Structure 1
Amino acid sequence: MACSKSSKKMRDFFENAPDLVIDKIVENLPIRIAAQTSVLSKKWRHAWLSLQRLIFDSDFQKQQENKDGSCDWRKSSRIISRILLHHNGPIRIFDLYVPDDADEDHMNLRQWISFLSKNGVQMITVIHWDSKTYIPSNIFWCSELVYLELAYCTLNPPPTCFHGFPKLKHLELLSVKFTKQNICCSLIENCRMLVTLKLGDVVGMDHVVIDAPSLQTLIFIGKFDSLAFRNVCSLKSISMCLRKMPEKLATVAAVDAVNLLASSCQLQYIHFDGYWCKFLAAGGIKISSSVTFNHLNEFRLSYLNLSDVGVFSYLLSMIECCPYIKKLNISVISGENVGEDVVDFNYNHKLDHLREVNIKGITGSSAELKLVEYLLAISIVLENLFFKPGELGIESERKMSRALMGFPRASPKARLLFVEN
C-alpha cells in the first residue's frame, strides 16, 4: 500500500512538475540520460530537445565505444546529427570531444557549426586529437560567441568580410595550426571585448602581437621570434612560458615589451618560466631601475637555472621592480653553484609587503642559499618561507636545513618551514 502511494506521488510529480523545474533537471543531466527522460510522461517527452547545453565530451564518446574499446565515431556522429536535427530553440553551449581514432569520413563538423551559427551559440569547445582536422570557416559566422576553445586542429584564415567576434571574451587555442602567418594576431586584434586569452603551442604565430584593450588575463606557452604588446591597459595577469629559446634573439624588443607592461597596465600577477627569464637576461640586459610593477601582488618564477649568472641577476632585478608583492613562488632546477662575486645584491632594498615565499626544488647550492639569505635580509614583514627540497638524501636535507635556519631575518615573525616531498 505504501509502495503504491509512493509510486503515485512520483507519477504525479513527473506529470505536474513546472516547466522551469523540468528544464533545470534535464539541463544538469548528461545528454544520454537527458534523452531517456522522454519516457517519463508526455510533459517530459520533448524537454530534452530544448537543451541549451549540448555536451558531447569524452564521457559521451566512451558510451559509444565498441566492445574492444575502439571509437565508434560513425555512431557518435549519427547521434549528434540526429540531436541537432530535432533540436528546438537556442543553443548556448556546444562541447565536442573527438578521439584520435575517429573516422574522418564521418566528421560532419561543417554542418554542425552551420546549425550552431543560426541558433545563437555562445560557447564552443572543440577538442580533436588529430591536428590535420580543419575547423570549417563557417565558425567565423558564430557572431554571438562569448567563449571559444579549440585544441589540436587546423584553422584556415577567416573570410575577408569577417571583422571579429564582437562579443568574444574568452579565447583558448591549444596546439592549433594556422595555415597563414599572423592570422592569429589579426583574430585577437579584431576581438575587442576579449578578457581572457590562452595560447599554447600555436603554430603559425612566430611574430606575436597582443593588441586587446579589454584583456585581463594572458597565458602564453610556446615559442616565437618576436613579441610586442599594444593597448593592453586592462591586463592584470600574465604567464609567459617558452618551450625553447627563440632562434632569433630579439631580446631588446622583448625587454621593452615587459617594461611597457609596467607602465601601461596594473598587473597583479606575473608568471615567468626559466626559458623566458633566460631569454630576457640574454646579453646581460637588465630591467631599467625606473620600471616598477606597483600593483603586483604575486610573482611566480618556475624552473629557474640559478647557475646561470644572467638568470640569477635578472631574478634579483625583477624582485627589486616589485616593491608591493605579497607572495613570491620560485621553483629551481639547478643544484650547481654561481659565482657570488659577479651577482649584485642590493641589501639596502627592502620589501615592505612580502609575507610569503615558496621555494621548490632547492638542493643547497650556494646560489640557492644566497638567494634565501638575501630574501630573509630584505623582507621586513615576512611571515613564512616554505622550502621544498629537490632530490636529496636525508643527511643532505638536514645539512641544508641547518644552513637555512641559521640565516638572519629582517622580520621578527619570519618562519622557515620545511615541506616534505
Structure 2
Amino acid sequence: MASSESNKKSNVLESNQDLISSLPTDLIDEILKRLPVSMVAKTSALSRKWRRNWLSLKYFVFDKSFWEEHKSNTNFDWKRINEIIGSILLYHNDPVHEFYLHVPNDLDHEFYLNISQWLSFLSRAAIKKISLVNLAKADSLPVMPSHIFACNELVHLKIVNYALNLNAPSDCIGFAYLRNLELLSVEFKHDVFRSLITSCPRLTHLRLKDCIGITNLVFDHVPILKILSIQGSFASLAFRNTFHLKRISLSLSPMENTTYLETVSAILALALPPVELQFLRFDGLLCKVTPSKNVLQHKFDYNNNFKLRHLLKAKITGITGSSLELKLVEYIAGISVKLKKFMFKCAKLDPSSELKVLRELLQLPRASKRAKLVCLAQ
C-alpha cells in the first residue's frame, strides 16, 4: 500500500516535471523576462531544459531590487555585485536582447563597476536594447566607456547621468539599427551629440532632457525621425530636412548669458512640405524677452508656402503674455488648416494678468474652422 502511494507521488512528480520541460520556448522566455535575475537563476533547478534556459537568458535586468538583495547593513556590497554581474555575463552562451543596469545613489564610491568590460561583452552578443541609469552622486559624471559605440546592433539606447566623449573604437560603424534614443542628464563633450545623431540613420524616436554641452541644437541628419521630445537650455533650435516628424514636445529655455531663444524659424521649417507634423507641444519658456516689432514683422510669413497642413493638436503651456508668445500662438493657429484642438495654459500670473492673456488668446483668428481653443486649468 505504501509502495503504491509512493509510486503515485513519483508519477505525479515526473508528470509535473515533463509539463514544465515541455513549455514552448517563447512562453519560457516571457516567464524569465518577468522574473528578477536571482529568481531566474533558481529556475535552473527545475529541469535540464530550464538549466539551459538560464544559460541562454536574453534579458538581464539589474534594477533597484537586485541591488537591495546585495546590501550589507546600509551599504551595497559593490565587490560582490561586480562579481555576480561579471560571472553571469561570462557564462552566457547566446545573443542578448536587453541589458538594464541601475546604479543607485551610494556614499561609497571607492569601488567602481566594470561597465566597460560588460559593454565589451554585450557588443559581441548582438545586444538590442541597453538602459544605463546612474543615480550615484559625484563631483563629475562618469564617462561612458567607448565600448558602447561598438554595440552596433542596438535598437534602443537609454543613458542617464553619464558623460559622452567622442572616443568610438576604430572599427565602430555607428548605430545603423538604432530607432529609439533617450539621453537624460547627459554631458556631451567635443560636439559628440552631432556625431552621435549622424550615426543613427534609422532613428525614429529621440528624447533629450537636461543635457549639457549642446549650444546650438540642429537636426539635419535624422531623415526618418518621427517623435521628438526636448527639455533643456539651448542658444538656438533648427530643423532641416526632418520631413517625417509627426510629434514634437519642446520645453526650452535660453542658455545662460543669452537673451533670446529662436523658435519661430524652427516652426517655419516644420511648416514647409513635405513635413506632416500632427502634434506640437510647447512647455515652459518660449522666449526670454520681447524683440522689437520689426523683428516680429520679418519673422512671420502667412503665405501658402508655410502651412502646418497636417497638425491636428497643439498644446502650449507656461504662457506669460509677452508679445512674441502671443504672436507665435497666433501664427500657429493661423497656418494650421486642419487643427482640431489648441490647448494652452498660462504661467503663474496674478488673476488680472491671466484674465487679460486668456481674452487675447481666445480672440485669436484660426485657419481651421473646426479648431477649438481650450484653456487648461492651473
TM-score, normalised on structure 1?
0.76
Q: CA deviation digits over 1:297-334, x for unaligned, max 9?
A: 1101111113x333223322222222211122212122
Letter in 2 for 1:298: K
Equivalent residue, structure 2, for 1:309: 323
Partner of 1:320: 334
Bigger mean CA offset, 89-98 vs 187-196 = 187-196
Is 2:124 the counterpart of 1:118? yes
**In 2: Cα distance, 1:185 partner to 1:222 partner:** 16
Please tell me the residue identity of whatever aligns with 2:168: P
Q: Structure 1 residues 282 and 238 mapped into 2: Cα distance closer, same or farther (>3 Å)? A: farther
What letter matches 1:332 in structure 2? Answer: C
> Which residue of structure 2 lines up, in the alignment, with residue 88 of structure 1?
93
Please state whether the residue corresponding to 1:126 is helix, strand or coil: strand
Helix, strand or coil at the partner of 2:280: strand
Q: CA deviation at 1:218?
A: 1.2
Match of 1:335 in 2: 350
Counterpart check, 1:194 vs 2:200: no
How far is 1:26 from its partner? 2.3
1:3-402 mapped onto 2 (5 Å cutoff): 4=9, 7=13, 9-68=15-74, 70-101=75-106, 103=109, 105-130=111-136, 132-159=141-168, 161=170, 162-180=172-190, 182-211=191-220, 212-244=222-254, 247-249=257-259, 254-264=263-273, 265-276=275-286, 278=287, 282-284=291-293, 285=296, 287-290=300-303, 291-306=306-321, 308-333=322-347, 334-335=349-350, 337=352, 365-372=355-362, 374=363, 381=370, 387-388=376-377, 390=378
Gaps of 5+ in 1: 339-363, 391-421
Amino acid at match of 1:294: R
Conserved? CA contact 1:336–1:367, under 8 Å = no
- 2:86 partner letter: S
Q: Provide the aligned length of Structure 1 versus Structure 2.
A: 358
Distance 1:104 1:153 in 2: 18
Residue 193 of structure 1, CA deviation: 1.0
Q: 2 CA distance for matches of 1:91 and 1:151? A: 21
Q: CA deviation at 1:172?
A: 1.1
Change over 3 Å in CA distance of 1:313–1:154 after alignment to 2? same
CA distance in 1, matches of 2:97, 2:366: 54
Cα offset, 1:384, TM superposition: 9.3
Greater relative contact order (Cα 8 A, min sep 6): structure 1 or 2? 2
- CA change 1:377–1:249 in 2 (3 A) is closer
For residues 55 and 290 of structure 2, the distance between their equivalents in structure 1, rounded to whole angstroms, comes to 57
* Mean CA deviation greater in 242-251 or 95-104: 242-251
Once the two structures are TM-superposed, the CA of residue 255 in structure 1 deviates from its matched residue by 2.3
Q: Name the aligned partner's letter for residue 27 of structure 1.
A: K
Tell me the CA shift for residue 78 of structure 1. Answer: 1.7
For structure 2, which runs of at least 5 residues remain unmatched after alignment? none
In structure 2, the residue matched to 1:396 is none
Q: Distance in 2 between matches of 1:90 and 1:99?
A: 27
CA distance in 2, matches of 1:186, 1:242: 22
Q: Percent of aligned pairs with the same residue?
A: 32
Tell me: CA distance 1:82–1:370, structure 2 relative to 1, closer, same or farther (3 Å): same
With over 3 angstroms needed to count, the CA separation of the structure-2 counterparts of 1:279 and 1:272, relative to structure 1, is: farther
Q: Output the TM-score relative to the length of structure 2.
A: 0.85
Tell me the secondary structure at the aligned position of residue 240 of structure 1: strand
- Mean CA deviation greater in 17-26 or 73-82: 17-26
Superposition deviation, residue 155 in structure 1:
1.2
Give the conservation status (yes or no) of the 8 Å contact 1:245–1:279.
no
Contact preservation (8 Å) 1:173, 1:199: yes
Structure 2 vs 1, CA of residues 23 and 272 (structure 1 numbering), >3 Å: closer, same or farther? Answer: closer
Measured in 2, the distance between the counterparts of 1:138 and 1:220 equals 26
